[in-house]
Amino acid sequence: MGSVPKPLVAGNWKMNGLRDSLAQIEKVAASEVLAACNVDALICVPATLLHSAAVMTAGTPLRIGAQDCHHQEGGAYTGDISASMIADSLGSHVIVGHSERRMGYREDDASIRSKTVAAHKSGLTAIVCIGETEEERLGDQTLDVLRRQLAGSLPDDVTAENTVIAYEPVWAIGTGRTASIADIAEAHAFIRSELSHRYDDECSLMRLLYGGSVKPSNAAEILRVENVNGALVGGASLVASDFLAICSVY
Ligand SMILES: O=C(CO)COP(=O)(O)O
Q: How far apart are CA 115 and CA 95, in angstroms?
A: 10
CA dist., res. 20 & res. 49, Å (int) = 10
ipTM exceeding cut-off 0.95 for this assembly: yes
Binding site annotation covers 152? no
Query: Domain extents for the chain?
Result: 8-247
Q: At what angle are helices 142-153 and 109-121 packed, to 10 degrees?
A: 40
Least Cα distance to 208 among 136, 146, 156 occurs for 146
12 annotated ligand-binding residue: yes
Centre of ligand 1 from the C-alpha of residue 200, in Å: 30
Please tell me the residue having the least CA distance from ligand 1 atom 7. 234
Fold of 8-247: TIM Barrel (3.20.20)
Give the distance (Å) from ligand 1 centre to CA of residue 75.
31
Task: List pocket residues of ligand 1, CB cut-off 6 Å.
Answer: 12, 98, 168, 173-174, 211-214, 232-236
In ligand 1, which atom is closest to the CA atom of 174? 10
Nearest CA to ligand 1 atom 8: 234
Taking only the tens of pLDDT, the chain with its 250 residues reads 566 679 999 999 999 999 999 999 999 999 999 999 999 999 999 999 999 999 999 999 999 999 999 999 999 999 999 999 999 999 999 999 999 999 999 999 999 999 999 999 999 999 999 999 999 999 999 999 999 999 999 999 999 999 999 999 999 998 988 889 999 999 999 999 999 999 998 888 899 999 999 999 999 999 999 999 999 999 999 999 999 999 999 9
Question: Could you give the angle at the alpha carbon of 121 between the alpha carbons of 207 and 82, nearest 5°?
Answer: 100
